[in-house]
């Protein structure tokens, strides 16, 4: 099995529309999905990413700016590492992600090795 990273991108406007009850319901869906992946021995680890305390380093370290950019249309809000045999299998696993409930997306990547 190979490790695949799922990068979760969500549109900020959709997150801001959620009521506290809707947010709690969405978090429950995430917990259920992660538990399902854990039970199937597919989930390795993951976490949400802070929307503060980020830096973007470019130009060989000569340019350092605050990030992520809240004014952007979508942000990477978290990631998980899952195990799958192939990219196609990893994509199938990603199709059950709760991010789609808020018009988000999942970027599925693997290392070269």
| pLDDT tens digits for range 56-73 | 888 899 988 887 665 567
Best CATH choice for the domain 2-110 from the list 3.30.70.1060, 2.60.40.420, 3.60.70.12, 3.30.830.10: 3.30.70.1060
pTM: 0.86
Q: 6-41: per-residue pLDDT in tens?
A: 999 988 788 889 999 999 999 999 999 999 999 999
**Cβ contacts of 37-43, under 8 Å, gap ≥ 24:** 37/80, 37/82, 37/93, 41/83, 42/82, 42/83, 42/84, 42/93, 43/80, 43/81, 43/82
């Amino acid at each position: 099995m190979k490790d695949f990273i799922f990068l979760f991108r969500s549109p900020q406007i959709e997150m801001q529309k959620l009521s506290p009850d809707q947010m709690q319901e969405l978090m429950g869906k995430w917990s259920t999905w992660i538990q399902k992946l854990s039970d199937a021995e597919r989930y390795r680890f993951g976490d949400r990413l802070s929307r503060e305390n980020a830096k973007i380093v470019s130009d060989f370290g000569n340019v350092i700016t605050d990030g992520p950019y809240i004014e952007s249309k979508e942000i990477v809000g978290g990631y998980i590492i899952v195990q799958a045999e192939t990219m196609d299998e990893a994509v199938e696993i990603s199709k059950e992600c709760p991010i789609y409930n808020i018009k988000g997306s999942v970027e599925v990547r693997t290392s070269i090795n």
